[in-house]
Amino acid sequence: MKDEPLNAIDITLILRGDSRFETALPAADPLLADLHAAVQQHSPSRLMQVPLDGGRTALSFASSELVSVLTTPPVLIEAADSQASLQTGSYLPCVCIDDFLTPDENTRLLQYALNNESEFSPSDVTTGHEGYRRSMVLQTIQDSPWRTLFEGRLDVHLSHICQTLGIDTLAVGKREIQLTASGKGDFFKLHRDAGEDVGTAARTLTYVYYFFREPQSFSGGNLLLTDDTGANGRGKVLAMRPQNNRLVAFRADQLHEVEPVFMADDAFSESRFTVNGWLRAAD
């Protein structure tokens, strides 16, 4: 078995002449960005070096010889969703990353949620407004290996996400995570995740990862991102339909809501599941 770093990204490098080399790099390794930049580079070639065989061997090559880079799981290098036509200032309102987890991880996460059905509790909001949100939340994911996996995988995309969303700093402090099950009639009214109270003021980035049983048996539950340029605080709206194994990231101060979920029955196993969380700016 090859030696792989924690939260590793499996990489296949394809050089001119169809020479192929396989390796693995940590999710946050800046060499990943360098490799993708080399594929796009039109400036003079430069020497690159990539570790192979767990670091026991090194491959040196000219950047102009690199044809493509295959990564598992996918590493996003361009701004995401083509639906993202809503503009707020100079940044796009969201970044979408499809196939955020591997198919096996996606399946195991669903089984984890189903196995812990009895541990879910009703959601609440810091505003304390009754009837503002309805869903079920699993807080114990904070102490599970899933938290480590999500944080490591998110770090792979963090630089791109922040640049796209117009977030100036990459310095991340406290991270929050929860697992949410939205069943028949569940919703979340218009709100911002970054508020004026101490509990949410430092939130900078929100992410929502969708997973659910297929074929999908619910409808609705769309994420609506809206700006506040129109009457009554509502302007343009971007509707994001839940898509299995997709992560959506947006600024924590972005106005958004979740439309009601519609289901023929209220089977927990058929819920619209999400792993959602927040990144706070470092102190």
Q: Which helix (H) or strand (E) holds 67?
A: strand 66-72
CA distance 223 to 49: 43
CATH placement of domain 95-281: 2.60.120.620
CA distance 227 to 15: 45
Quick check: helix, strand or coil at residue 20?
A: strand
Phi first, then psi: what are they for 121, rounded to 5°?
-135, 160
Q: Where in the chain is the domain with CATH 2.60.120.620?
A: 95-281
Q: Going residue by residue through the chain (283 aa), what tens digit of pLDDT does each one get? A: 345 544 678 899 999 888 899 998 876 666 777 787 777 665 557 778 888 887 778 788 888 888 888 888 877 654 333 333 343 344 568 999 999 999 999 999 999 999 999 999 999 765 445 678 999 999 999 999 999 999 999 988 888 898 888 887 666 788 999 999 999 999 999 899 997 676 788 899 999 999 999 999 999 899 999 877 555 555 677 888 899 999 999 999 999 999 999 998 899 999 999 999 999 888 7
What angle in degrees, to the nearest 10, is found between the helix axes of 145-165 and 103-115? 120
Pair of tokens at residue 155: 């770090």
Strand partners, 121: 137
